Amino acid sequence: MHQLVFATNNRHKLEEVSAKINGDIRLLTLQDIGCFDDIEETGTTFKANASIKSHHVYSTYQLDCFGDDSGLEIDALNGEPGVYSARYAGTHGNHAANISKVLENLEGETNRKARFRTVISLMWNGEEHFFEGAVEGTIRTEIAGEGGFGYDPIFEPEGYDITFAEMSMAEKNAISHRAKAMEQLIAFLNTTK
């Protein structure tokens, strides 16, 4: 069984990815390999930030790994919050404040089109590979649902009348941006066995 490090400490991301892998690969976290470094996401694109994470782990631990960066892009806000999704309102990971800022910035806006985008950087046998996934949708005017994390309570994916936060993890995993990028990653890994 291959070992692969997922360069994250985000338990929600780990749960989503673990559900997709189905035991083909032993997924390790940064904690599992004793990496407690604060990997600075200094890139200005999802691709750059994902690459920073995977390169850090690979160069420090010589382990195959992947890093991802994701975010919400809102058309009426010129793609914001984008790479700043986790810290849009100032404090990293303050989901309620981030959601409030988005809703405030969209007040009175009729174009509520948005997408979640994920880019994965995989370091595999010393080579870097990229995988990308996106899911289109709209931003609701109010919060709905208890599940998910981040902007899930205000994001309604195209073709649905519920938010990500109102879906089960299985439902969200079937259509999410991270799921689409992960499917490409898993397909790649399955061809390298």
Residues marked active site are found at 69
Residues 6+ apart with CB under 8 A from 186: 20, 21, 24
Are 67 and 53 in contact by the 8 Å Cβ rule? The answer is: yes
Which residue matches tokens 């009348």? 161
Are 184 and 135 in contact by the 8 Å Cβ rule? The answer is: no
Residues 6+ apart with CB under 8 A from 45: 83, 119
DSSP string computed for 143-186? ---SSSSTTGGGEEETT-SS-GGGS-HHHHHHH-HHHHHHHHHH
- CA 100, 119, 55, 35 torsion: positive or negative? positive
Which residue matches tokens 């700043």? 84
